[in-house]
Structure 1
Amino acid sequence: MRTVFFLITCLLGVTTLHAQTNLETGGRVAPLSDKGIRLIGAASFVAFEFEGTDCQLTLASVDDYPHHNYVSLELDGTYLGRIRIEPGRPAPYSVAVTKSGRHRLVVYKATEAQNGFVDFLGTTAKIVAPGKAKKRKRIEFIGDSITCGMGNDESALPCGSGEWYDQHNAYWSYAPITARALHADFLLSSVSGMGMYRNWNTENSESEIMPEVYGKLALRESDTRPFDATFQPDVVTICLGTNDLSAGDGKKPRTPFDAKQFTDNYIAFIKMLQQRYPKAQIVLLSSPMLNGERHATLMAALDTIQAAFPTGTLRRFTFQPMEPKGCGYHPSKEDDQKMASELTPFLKKLLDEK
């Protein structure tokens, strides 16, 4: 019989049980010295099984300056909603559990790495040892704001109001939706506005790009913590290029798209991934936010990239054209679900081959 130990502490007036064991984590996360978990990347999560109806979480929004974050909750496979985590001292957040018995709760970070972190500092729930986990396939999704779930959730505030990330919900990004449909473990490595050789409104000399930050745990060049390769995916998808081809805000001068720099960076990035994940199948995704000439330009660049590797090494997937209905010309929740419905059968076939 496995024994579960707890450390009882009083945290700023909130009595909390910190589980030393039986916490499951996923995505870009980091352990804290007090047995807590720091959620860093979009859709990173902490999960646990518990008994009863008492479930209060202690959470904190942490960054270099005070601001809020969001988490999304899933109880027994059912989405409960998104919670705003206020800055400052850690605070209690109650989870509505109406039925007694055994439950599984997953706390997902709805915002992304550049919004700072959400610290999970404990729960009043009576955590129990999980059942034996089945071996599942693994997928990593690399991308920008589309993959982060930016602009897809207006449940709290409509587009154009609040902070730029108030409509973020990584839980409803096409990536986690696809992974859930495939019953696969997943990891998001995504940053809004980021590109392969330049970003939405900046050139590479002005800001860091995905190849420069991917190996950093917090997807920031200033972060000294490496992103280790413990998570070995069966499939890696890359959805980048939207920002490289963007015209920016239309005010700041923008140089013409450099196809050679884009493809050179992309090829080098793939080679790095192949060394990191020698058994993974890599899939290049189109951008649902590009159409017309820009879509054709991206497709031509992906042709060049694919031709730089032996036949069959890389796979391609093209989303159907869409007019995104989310905030800031991003996919809405419904758009994300449509994207997932297109991508899921394609990835299922790849996973079945492995």
Structure 2
Amino acid sequence: MKKLSILPLFLLLTSGIWLSACTAVQVMDFPASLDAFERKGLVVMNDSALVLISSASGVEFRFAGDNCQVFLSNKAAKGDYNYVSFELDGKYYGRMKVDNSISKPFAIQADSSADWHTLKVFKATEAQNGLLLFHGVSADRVKATEKTDMLRLEFIGNSITCGMGNDVDEIPCGLGKWFDQHNAYRSYAAIVSRALNADFLLSSVSGAGIYRAWNSEAPSVPSLYQSAYLNADSLQKRDFSTWKPDWIIIALGTNDLSEGDGVTPRKPFDSTRFVNAYFQFLQNLVSLQPQARFALLTSPMVEKEKDILFHSCLIAVQQKFTERYPQRPKPEIHHYPAITASGCSGHPDEDEHKQMAESLKGFLISVINQAQN
């Protein structure tokens, strides 16, 4: 990349967002506020940075030349940090730790001589790990990716949907912090979305369920869902007008059915309470996203008698929905085959996420095609 001047020189062409910059020192040429950076997932613009909140939230754009630098910073509790995953020209580039509180560049090197490269930036960790801030990019030129009319999928789930425990490339299970093996890019939800060429958003919270958490009575995902930051502390509400999913896919129930840690007192699973809370959540989603269809998933981590109970609860939710909304298509149910999880902390590993994605892909193709006929 040629550097000609200390001050950045911007050139904006009206045919497709196309910008150019030249600098004599390594500075951020293109700030996060530019339209060239297409926002993905649950994000908010805060001052000069784009705040990546939910798992797999991020940006995508194209850059000219053989390299670029992505400026990121971490805003989390003391001693905590986030991870970022990159995809370059359709291939997984890697996951990097972001523990710097001040913006710093993360280098991306292309391995082909193409004039333009497509880079996708994903938050690999989740909302409760803190915030990942995208400040901008240094590159020869950047422009927006080509717009296409994509299928839009929202996944509402727990730690499995977040991709907890599926990445041991750097840190083996049992070492580091509880989120050191998080990689939302490798979650079944992200994998199946890429397979279907779909735009996707993950509204997922580790440990949470429909009416209770894995080892306590709170939080539940419905109680956090309308928060812009997916937490109970934020007063800022989520703007549901900016992104309208075609399908909302709900993968909740594993934590409701959990026996807990065996130490903290825990009441038995209440199927009536579960069904009622699930249905109330669906009613809320109908009011927020009236255009969306719904798919309800069991869990491959729930087996035997609990699996039968879980499936019967989803059928009861489906029946209540049909009675309440006779003019709307019924929620579809996908019953996962059982998987013995071999990832960290009893979660699926990367290969098992691929199995889940393959199972879900066939189901989604079927119900989406039926809906279009």
TM bin, normalised by shorter chain, reads over 0.9
Instruction: Give the aligned partner of residue 25 of structure 1.
Output: 39
Instruction: Give the aligned partner of residue 166 of structure 1.
Output: 180
Kept in 2: contact 1:197–1:262 (CA 8 A): yes
How much does 1:184 deviate?
Answer: 0.7
Instruction: Give the aligned partner of residue 141 of structure 1.
Output: 155
Equivalent of residue 284 in structure 1, options 283, 288, 296: 296
How much does 1:14 deviate?
Answer: 6.1
Instruction: Give the aligned partner of residue 228 of structure 2.
Output: 217
CA distance in 2, matches of 1:199, 1:350: 30
Rg larger in structure: 2
How much does 1:144 deviate?
Answer: 0.2
Deviations 1:219-257 (A, max 9, x none): 101112211112111111101010011011111111111
Q: Which range is displaced more, 288-297 or 179-188?
A: 288-297
Kept in 2: contact 1:58–1:90 (CA 8 A): yes
AA of the residue aligned to 1:333: E
Cα 1:247/1:7, change in 2 over 3 Å? farther
Cα 1:6/1:191, change in 2 over 3 Å? farther
Instruction: Give the aligned partner of residue 305 of structure 2.
Output: 293
Q: Which range is displaced more, 172-181 or 117-126?
A: 117-126
Structure 1 counterpart SS, 2:314: helix
Instruction: Give the aligned partner of residue 324 of structure 1.
Output: 341
TM-score by length of 1: 0.93
Structure 2 counterpart SS, 1:73: strand
CA distance in 2, matches of 1:258, 1:87: 44
How much does 1:351 deviate?
Answer: 2.8
Identity across matched positions, percent: 40
Q: Is 1:47 equivalent to 2:60 in the alignment? A: yes
How much does 1:8 deviate?
Answer: 9.7
CA distance in 1, matches of 2:26, 2:109: 18
CA distance in 1, matches of 2:267, 2:22: 57
CA distance in 2, matches of 1:202, 1:105: 40
Instruction: Give the aligned partner of residue 104 of structure 1.
Output: 118
CA distance in 1, matches of 2:257, 2:185: 27
Kept in 2: contact 1:48–1:127 (CA 8 A): no
CA distance in 2, matches of 1:260, 1:5: 57
CA distance in 1, matches of 2:151, 2:134: 26
Kept in 2: contact 1:56–1:95 (CA 8 A): yes
Structure 2: which 5+ runs fail to align?
1-12
AA of the residue aligned to 2:158: D
Structure 1 counterpart SS, 2:276: helix
Structure 2 counterpart SS, 1:331: coil
Deviations 1:48-105 (A, max 9, x none): 1110013111111112424221011000110011011114322221112233320010
Instruction: Give the aligned partner of residue 314 of structure 1.
Output: 331
Equivalent of residue 75 in structure 2, options 62, 71, 79: 62
Cα 1:251/1:8, change in 2 over 3 Å? farther
Instruction: Give the aligned partner of residue 114 of structure 1.
Output: 128
Q: Which range is displaced more, 156-165 or 248-257?
A: 248-257
Structure 1 counterpart SS, 2:336: coil
Instruction: Give the aligned partner of residue 151 of structure 1.
Output: 165
Cα 1:307/1:166, change in 2 over 3 Å? same
Kept in 2: contact 1:283–1:315 (CA 8 A): yes
The two structures, once aligned, show a CA RMSD in angstroms of 2.0
AA of the residue aligned to 2:208: M
Deviations 1:172-211 (A, max 9, x none): 10001000000010000000000111101111xxx32111
Structure 1 counterpart SS, 2:358: helix
Count of aligned positions = 348
Structure 2 counterpart SS, 1:104: strand
Deviations 1:103-142 (A, max 9, x none): 0101100000000011111211234333541101100000
CA distance in 1, matches of 2:26, 2:180: 27
Structure 1 counterpart SS, 2:201: strand
Kept in 2: contact 1:32–1:38 (CA 8 A): yes
- Where does 1:185-334 land on structure 2 (aligned, <5 Å)? 185-203=199-217, 207-229=218-240, 230-310=242-322, 312-334=329-351
Q: Which stretches of structure 1, 4 residues or longer, exceed 3 Å deviation after superposition?
A: 3-10
Cα 1:151/1:118, change in 2 over 3 Å? same
AA of the residue aligned to 1:322: I
Kept in 1: contact 2:156–2:251 (CA 8 A): yes
Cα 1:8/1:89, change in 2 over 3 Å? farther
AA of the residue aligned to 1:283: A
Structure 2 counterpart SS, 1:138: strand
Q: Is 1:348 equivalent to 2:365 in the alignment? A: yes
CA distance in 1, matches of 2:21, 2:309: 57
CA distance in 2, matches of 1:91, 1:298: 46
